[in-house]
Amino acid sequence: MRYKIYINIILLVAASVVTKGQGADSLSYKFSLKAAIDYALTHQTTVLNAIVDEEIARNTVRQTVGIGLPQVSTSYSFQDFLKLPTTLLPGEFSNPPSSTPIPVKFGTKYNSTAGIELNQLLFDGSYIVGLQASKTYKELSVRNSKRTKIETVVAVTKAYYGALVKGEQLVLIDANLAQLTKSLNDTEAMFKNGFVEKIDVDRLQVLKNNLETDRENVIRLLQMNVDMLKFQMGMPVQASLSLTDKISDVKAEPVPVMGTDTTAYKGRIEYSLLETQKKLNELDLKRQKSLFLPTLKGFASASKNFQSDEFTKHFDQSFPTSVIGLTLSWNLINGGQRIYQVRNAKLAVKKSENDLLNSKNSIANEISSSQKVYLNSLRSVENQQRNLTLSQEILRVTRIKYGQGVGSSLEVTNAETAVEEAQNKYITALYDLLISKVNLEKASGRINY
């Protein structure tokens, strides 16, 4: 009985291990675009590392503050003189005086000292500037984290749209394939009854085979797009993910086109990062100037010295010492190094100003280009959608004519090919529209997290 219980326990443990090992495969998600973005902001490695960098920056600020706080240290030393040091005293000190130096040993065999020391920075110009710079460094890490989140949102959105477009392409192919299969079946029936030739059936069969191959390729591409989306989200690739948004809902979202806005650059995180970098360069210039000032430190120390010739009585007698004082240091001349350091710091500030000016122009150009690309993509989708509708109508009429014996099978084949080409062009235009939509929102600074 006990043996059977042990066997059951082992089987349960093994089953739990297998279940854990298959955990990633059994995960199943249904996400809208917003849910996918929210998931990425809490699971994507780059975002998590950016959050860690923020914490590192906060710790760096505290570390810098600690430089100006009291510094306390303790020490203890022990010495065992195997041979005491010998000092030569002038012979004149002997009785009677002699011209020969007299060797004398000073000290005790055992010596030890225990002490405590306090140091306090009272004034240091570079430290004051360093405090300001550390806070700016923290601000820089926060903005870097925000940029990482924005880039993650953009990547996830594009991957989500890519998967939606492939899903839409699959829907169009399935609809076309269903109609083509019906036409093929009708044509085969007509061939059996002697109303059409074998070549008419073969032409439609070739189209059907090609469309089935295209369908298989789109299915694989759709899975690749979903896998890319999972990767951008930080989701295990083995997990199952289905998308709940519809392509029609995405297209229906209004995307305002901005007019001439000379202040649009202020909404871009890239410009904010350059502003923070300029602030850091200005603080560095201030720090270089502060090096011309003296540094003042205060200190206090207390110690006890223990001496004896017998180890067992070493701590019986002590000789205390205490001292307080100030240390003023001032580097007056260093070969002109500080002067050139200040000049280089000024030049770094000038470069930051140039970068900000260039960034303004670059952002304005990016917004203008994104607007034009978006409007062109919007018109292209509208045109391709009309072309697709027209090609489908032509195919419908051609099939009716062919069924009534008025048209030819070649006309039907050409119409089927035209529909497939129109579908591909529509899908390409639709993808370009969605990507240009994301690029316009990013360029305009409307993606903020």
Q: Which pLDDT does position 390 carry in this prediction?
A: 96
The CB density around residue 438, as the number of other CB atoms within 10 Å, is: 20
* Rg from Cα positions in the chain: 41
- What is the C-alpha separation between 276 and 148, in angstroms, rounded? 16
132 close to 65: Cβ distance less than 8 angstroms: no
**What percent of the chain is modeled with pLDDT above 70?**
92
- The three-state secondary structure class of 332 is coil
Q: Which pLDDT does position 190 carry in this prediction?
A: 84
Query: 76-90, 110-124, 260-274, 430-444: lowest mean pLDDT where?
Result: 260-274
The domains of the chain are located at 25-67+124-294+335-443
Of 445, 415, 399, the closest CA to residue 186 belongs to 399
Tens digits of residue pLDDT in 85-141: 888 878 776 777 777 888 888 888 899 999 999 999 999 988 999 898 998 999 999
- The three-state secondary structure class of 335 is coil
For 384-418, b/e burial (b = at least 16 CB within 10 A) is bbebbeebbebbeebbeebeeeebebebbbebbeb
Tens digits of residue pLDDT in 25-62: 558 899 999 999 999 999 999 999 999 999 999 999 99
- Rounded to an integer, the average pLDDT of 157-162 is 95
Q: Which pLDDT does position 435 carry in this prediction?
A: 94
Options 3.40.720.10, 3.40.50.300, 3.40.250.10, 1.20.1600.10; CATH for 25-67+124-294+335-443 is 1.20.1600.10
Q: Which pLDDT does position 252 carry in this prediction?
A: 66
Tens digits of residue pLDDT in 419-428: 989 999 999 9
Tens digits of residue pLDDT in 167-216: 999 999 998 899 889 888 988 888 888 878 888 889 889 989 999 999 99
Which helix (H) or strand (E) element contains residue 114?
strand 110-123
What does DSSP say about strands 295-308 and 71-80: parallel, antiparallel, or unpaired?
Answer: unpaired
- What is the C-alpha separation between 295 and 281, in angstroms, rounded? 23
What is the token pair recorded at 392? 């489908």
Tens digits of residue pLDDT in 350-388: 999 999 999 999 999 999 999 999 999 999 999 999 999
- Whether the full predicted model's pTM is greater than 0.85, yes or no, is no
Residues paired with 308 in a beta bridge: 110
